[in-house]
Amino acid sequence: AQSVTQLDSQVPVFEEAPVELRCNYSSSVSVYLFWYVQYPNQGLQLLLKYLSGSTLVESINGFEAEFNKSQTSFHLRKPSVHISDTAEYFCAVKLAGGTSYGKLTFGQGTILTVHP
């Protein structure tokens, strides 16, 4: 079975500072990787995904994540955060192929708080 560990439950940063949210996964087979963001009282929004190809993936709002197979990590980074980035971020994995179909396994979440 696969599992996901988000190493920080809370990350406080100041506006315009860089941030890294850490995610490690465990799986004996190939996986697809995702980062979702959740704002208060809302559902999850897909931030970015790694399915195959380039190990560096980017979102339209400045976040990026790098898939590192040897370290089984998929850390999320942003060089300069805004107040509006305050939210909870979830790392998730899905088995590539096989019978996992739509099943996502999530980490426990990291609350990012951006202070002015």
Partner 1 sequence: KAGVTQTPRYLIKTRGQQVTLSCSPISGHRSVSWYQQTPGQGLQFLFEYFSETQRNKGNFPGRFSGRQFSNSRSEMNVSTLELGDSALYLCASSDLGEQYFGPGTRLTVT
Q: Which residues bind partner 1 (CB under 8 A)?
A: 32, 36, 41-46, 49, 51, 90, 92, 94, 99-109
C-beta of 19 vs 33, nearer to partner 1? 33
C-beta of 51 vs 56, nearer to partner 1? 51
C-beta of 3 vs 80, nearer to partner 1? 3
Q: How far is the CB of 69 from partner 1 (least distance, A)?
A: 19
Q: Do the strands 10-14 and 110-115 form a parallel or antiparallel pair, or are they unpaired? A: parallel
Facing residues of 34 across strands?
A: 49, 92
DSSP 94-113: EESSTT-TT--EE---EEEE
d(CA 58, CA 50): 10
CA angle in degrees (0–180, nearest 5) for 88-24-113? 25
Return the structure tokens found at 31. 């996986």
C-beta of 30 vs 80, nearer to partner 1? 30
